[in-house]
Structure 1
Amino acid sequence: MKNVQPMIIAISGGSGSGKTTITQSIIAKIKSDTNLKVATVCLDNYYKPFSDLSLEARKKLNYDDPNSFDFDQVYYDLLALSNNQTIKMPIYDYKNYTRSDQFTEINPSDVILYEGILSLYDPRILDLSKFKLFIDTPSDERLARRIERDCLERARDIKQVLNQWRSQVRVMHRKYVQKQKEDANLILPWYTLNHEGMSIIQNAIIKIAQGNEF
């Protein structure tokens, strides 16, 4: 096998599209089939803290707007990882709508999976990314998944979730998220489990990470 260089894989798609599920599937495949080290960087952890605002004010912010993310820090952290440096990734506190005071230390790895609704948004990060994937899931399925996640896992009120979807998530998806398809190397339909498409992606990532042509 050729010398392995750190490779950044950017995985994007709308809220509830299945990004986390697919990321976990790629990790499992890499670990089972190779000796490559893999790390995950989640864009959600890079929300700006907005610590100057009250909790009630932070709840009203549009978290699907690109301006809510600290893309500068994302870029410099990914750049550090690509140069085999350890980073301290922030941890976002969904209950208090701000960053916690804790960090996750991420060590240099052969493959870095960077996932989020706007992971293909910043041109600097696009230049760092070796492979760019967009998960294309219908809006009705994404809404159902978001309700399950936010109400069950994040203790959100159903009315709040639906209002946020109508006033922010849907609007930002049409304005920013779906446009990222233009920069993706591959678009994966994901209404139901697309095992064939997932297998192609997994094998492609492994071959590229090992320095081979796909």
Structure 2
Amino acid sequence: MRQPIFIGVCGGSGSGKTTIVNRINSEVPEKSISIMEHDAYYKDQSHLTYEQRCKTNYDHPFAFDTDLFVEHIKELKKGSTIQKPIYDYGIHNRTKETIISEPKEIIIVEGLLIFYEERIRELLDIKIFVDTDADIRILRRIVRDMNERKRSLDSVINQYMSTVRPAHEQFIEPSKKYADIIVTEGGNNLVAVDLMVTKIKSLLEHAYRA
């Protein structure tokens, strides 16, 4: 197999990154694509109590084990298998289990801060930034966190105002300048998503012929 093609998908919380990644994933043969989520690489916090873990700023670069993330991308680039961490939002910590992730022709690298980190940027072949208005992002985040993570409305809003919004303005929004492609309105922009899927399929066809 040729060296994998790494496609970065970056954007603010609630921007529609996951929708785009899932759409790409559904259109490409499973044997040809895998996903690397930066969120899976939050630092291990076993040394902290649950109450202390709740106070961590999960939107700051310091919250991520980016050293391990970069190491794993490099291993996949070389054709090696990795043991990808599993993060449990219910306990705000990694689990003891891992997922075996093998190198594929296409590897999607997804996360809030992947364009902010130069070490990650330089490993990506294509960089896509999902640019969605703040009012839509906060509404999506409220729905997701209340339904999927069983959080209260007050806690979601407080976290957004205290950490999510400041981090977006400080780290995420400025990193948009590094993108090769900017997709507005996230997964709702079906034309842009379809164009990306077509491009990825073209890359795969070229890889198969090589």
TM over 0.5: yes
Matched, 1:183 2:178: yes
Cα distance in 1, alignment partners of residues 75 and 193 from structure 2: 29
Question: Deviations 1:54-109 (Å, cap 9, x if unpaired)?
Answer: 11111111100011001110001111111111111100010111111111111110
Retained in 1: the 8 A contact 2:19–2:186? no
Give the alignment partner of residue 200 of structure 1, picking from 184, 195, 201: 195
Is residue 138–residue 191 contact of structure 1 (8 Å, CA) maintained in 2?
Answer: no
Does structure 1 residue 16 correspond to structure 2 residue 5? no
Aligned 8 A contact 2:128 2:181 in 1: yes
**Which one of the candidate residues 28, 35, 49 is aligned to 1:40?**
35
CA distance in 1, matches of 2:87, 2:2: 31
Give the whole-Å Cα distance in 1 for the aligned partners of 2:102 and 2:143. Answer: 32
Q: Which range moves more in the overlay, 78-87 or 49-58?
A: 49-58
Task: Say if 2:152 is the partner of 1:157.
Answer: yes
Matched with 2:3 is: 5
CA contact (8 A) 1:48 1:70 kept: yes
| Aligned 8 A contact 2:34 2:107 in 1 | yes
Correspondence for 2:45: 50
Q: Is the 8 A contact 1:43 1:119 kept in 2?
A: yes
Opposite residue 119 of structure 2, the aligned amino acid is R
Partner-residue secondary structure (3-state), 1:129: coil
Decide whether aligned partners of structure 1 residues 208 and 44 sit closer, same or farther in structure 2, where only a CA change above 3 A counts: same
TM-score, normalization: structure 2?
0.93
Question: Separation in 2 of the partners of 1:66 and 1:74?
Answer: 12
Q: Distance in 2 between matches of 1:109 and 1:94?
A: 27
Name the SS for the 2:36 alignment partner: strand
SS at the partner of 1:198? helix
Superposition deviation, residue 211 in structure 1: 3.9
Tell me how far apart the structure 1 counterparts of residues 86 and 31 of structure 2 sit (CA, whole Å).
25
Deviations 1:157-195 (CA, angstroms, capped at 9, x unpaired): 211111000010000000001111111100000167111
Structure 1 residue matching 2:44: 3-state secondary structure: coil
Q: Which 5+ residue runs of structure 2 have no aligned equivalent?
A: none
Q: Amino acid of the residue matched to residue 27 of structure 1?
A: N
Give, as a single letter, the amino acid of the residue that structure 2 aligns with 1:6: P
Q: What 5-or-longer segments of structure 1 have no aligned partner?
A: none
The answer as to whether partners of 2:40 and 2:85 remain within 8 angstroms in 1 is: yes
**Relative to 1, partners in 2 of residues 1:144 and 1:57: Cα closer, same or farther, differing over 3 Å?**
same
